[in-house]
Amino acid sequence: MELDRLIEKICSEYLEQLLAHRRPYGVSGPEADLAGLERFIREEEGRMLVGDRSLVEADARKFLARTGRDLEDDEFDQLCRALQRTFIRGCWLAHAD
């Protein structure tokens, strides 16, 4: 499976999972209101900029294991960046109601 398609498939499944819970993991309490959500997303965007993938790394490994594929470090980082963007999108969508 081509890397781009694999990442797209994993991100699609991840978004589905996030939205099924109505509030993405890690977004509760103060982050449940709009101001808290915006602050949380700015912080995650900052982590993205410095290469901190800690929020999504375990999920990336879990989803990747389901595919039976191994990725090189740079490909895994690409998957994690895509999952971070998907996580942020999921946060916005879950709070749009």
Instruction: Output the pLDDT for position 93.
Output: 86
Instruction: Output the pLDDT for position 27.
Output: 53
What does the alpha-carbon distance between residue 72 and residue 12 come to, in Å, rounded to a whole number? 21
pLDDT per residue over 37-89, tens digit each?
888 899 999 999 999 999 999 999 999 999 999 999 999 999 999 999 999 99
Instruction: Output the pLDDT for position 28.
Output: 57
What does the alpha-carbon distance between residue 92 and residue 78 come to, in Å, rounded to a whole number? 22
Residue spans per domain, the chain: 3-94
Instruction: Output the pLDDT for position 64.
Output: 95
Contact 17, 92 (CB under 8 A): no
